[in-house]
Amino acid sequence: MKSGGWSEAFGKQIGLGYVRPDLAALGTRVQVRMLRQSWEAAVIEDRPHDPAIARIRADGGAARLAPPVGRREGGGAAPA
């Protein structure tokens, strides 16, 4: 498990992680280890909240993502 937390959109805990290719089929039940406990989980589709990426593309495709942390537009490191 790489990341996880409560999802207001789904009303339950969700997580992000990697599985072996033979376990990657949608609906596959797996056990994940997090905080020294084992939890049941299921493989779901990528971007379950917005499969068509419609929210990002709502402005006709002109939407831009923020530059990565520590970077600013035009390149170079952001001032400290």
66 Rama sector, left if φ>0, alpha if ψ -120 to 50, beta otherwise? beta
Q: Which residue has the higher pLDDT, 14 or 68?
A: 14
Question: Could you tell me the pTM of the whole model?
Answer: 0.53
Q: What is the C-alpha radius of gyration for the chain, rounded to an integer number of angstroms? A: 17
The reported pLDDT for the residue numbered 44 is 85
What is the identity of the amino acid at 5?
G
Q: Which two tokens stand for residue 42?
A: 């299921």
d(CA 35, CA 33): 7
User: Is residue 43 a contact partner of residue 19, using CB atoms and an 8 Å limit?
Assistant: yes
Question: Looking at residue 69, what is its pLDDT?
Answer: 59
Return d(Cα 17, Cα 3) in angstroms, integer.
7
| Residue-wise pLDDT tens digits, 20-74 | 999 999 999 999 888 888 989 999 877 666 767 676 666 555 545 555 555 555 5
